[in-house]
Amino acid sequence: MKDPCAHCEEMMQPYLDHTLSEEERIEAEHHLDGCDWCRRRYRFEESLRVYVRQVVTEPMPADLKAKLSSLRLEL
Ligand SMILES: [Zn+2]
């Protein structure tokens, strides 16, 4: 049987890109509801994307930098 967390991780990039099918999105969200580990991973990845976007346009704000390092510590 496939590890649900591994499956959830596979869906992370397309989830954040909003390219999942409705069915897959619900599946991912359902898993995230009950899995703290994956929820953190998704949140971290999302923060990373925000950071990457901001780096392109402006210097990284100090609060975001602090947020990112605290997320990294949680993982
Ligand atoms: Zn999980």
Question: Cα 60 to chain center, whole Å?
Answer: 19
User: Cα angle vertex 75, ends 46, 25, to 5°?
Assistant: 40
Task: State the pLDDT confidence band at 15, using cuts at 50, 70 and 90.
Answer: very high
Q: From ligand 1's centre to the CA of 61, what distance in Å?
A: 30
Q: From ligand 1's centre to the CA of 47, what distance in Å?
A: 18
pLDDT tens, position by position, 21-63: 999 999 999 999 999 999 999 999 999 998 888 777 766 678 8
Task: State the pLDDT confidence band at 1, using cuts at 50, 70 and 90.
Answer: low
Q: From ligand 1's centre to the CA of 11, what distance in Å?
A: 11
User: Cα angle vertex 23, ends 29, 15, to 5°?
Assistant: 50
What's the DSSP call for residue 61? P
* Exposed / middle / buried, residue 43 (Cβ in 10 Å: 0-12, 13-18, 19+): middle
Q: From ligand 1's centre to the CA of 60, what distance in Å?
A: 30
